[in-house]
Amino acid sequence: MIEIPFIEIRKPRSYKPLDSALSKLQDYDWLILTSVNGVDALWQRMKRLCLTKKHLQHLKIAAIGPATKKAIEKHGIKVSVVPAEYIAESVVERLRNRVAEKRVLLARAKVARDVIPRELSKLGAKVDVVEAYETVIPQLSRNRLRTVLNDPKRRPHVITFTSSSTVKNFVALLGRADRVRIDNIHCASIGPVTSSTLRNLSLPVSIEAKHYTIPGLIKAVVALRKHELQS
């Protein structure tokens, strides 16, 4: 296995919006977290502001998937909602009858899909979106990626994508002129949103995980390789 990051996690340019929201936690009814990175960033700021889990106990908390749920529960906080499918649309569906006239805090990456705030607002919720972290292109990965793709002995059979951001950043790192370098390499997607981004950027989706998690993606890749070896 060759590990080359397609995203880099950085602190936001300013913590003022997040700190302001955390200082008014008592005003919110719901907290939505959509990644482990968001959980980590939130708790780092809470610690900095001398806030504890007691300040969250009145909130109902929604986590986008099991990894995010586990990260939240590690801090001794109960999670009220985890959707059946680990995508924004499924979060909205689970909250459909629960957020009218409620105040919702969504802590997430700087750049993200607006499905949750847009759709919850339509349902009558007042949603505050705050930046907890940002994702950027890891420039050090550019030469590593090109080196691996040019080395017949290291050239991968499968490239895995765990989010739309990883797809977009991969294309940026590779460069459009170098698309030919991934001919005959499978693209493995963690779920339908990532698959859609791959197709929109003219990359093939060889396989999509049935369960939209890292373990689900690994299982899908293993199944693909077994099928190829048996063919």
Domain boundaries, the chain: 8-136, 141-230
HEC string for the chain: CCCCCCCEEECCCCCHHHHHHHCCHHHCCEEEECCHHHHHHHHHHHHHCCCCHHHHCCCEEEECCHHHHHHHHCCCCCCCECCCCCCHHHHHHHHCCCCCCCEEEEEEECCCCCHHHHHHHHCCCEEEEEEEEEEECCCCHHHHHHHHHHCCCCCCCEEEECCHHHHHHHHHHHCHHHHHHHCCCEEEECCHHHHHHHHHCCCCCCEECCCCCHHHHHHHHHHHHHHHHHC
- pLDDT range class, residue 231, cuts 50, 70, 90: low
Q: What percent of the chain has pLDDT over 90?
A: 83
- pLDDT range class, residue 145, cuts 50, 70, 90: very high
155: pLDDT strictly greater than 70: yes
Q: What is the pLDDT of residue 45?
A: 97
Kindly state the average pLDDT of the residues 129-155: 92
Q: What is the pLDDT of residue 168?
A: 94
141-230: in CATH 3.40.50.10090: yes
- pLDDT range class, residue 176, cuts 50, 70, 90: low
Total-model pTM: 0.86
CATH of 8-136, one of 3.30.1330.40, 1.20.80.10, 3.40.640.10, 3.40.50.10090: 3.40.50.10090
Q: What is the pLDDT of residue 180?
A: 55
Domains 8-136 and 141-230 agree in fold: yes
Q: What is the pLDDT of residue 111?
A: 86
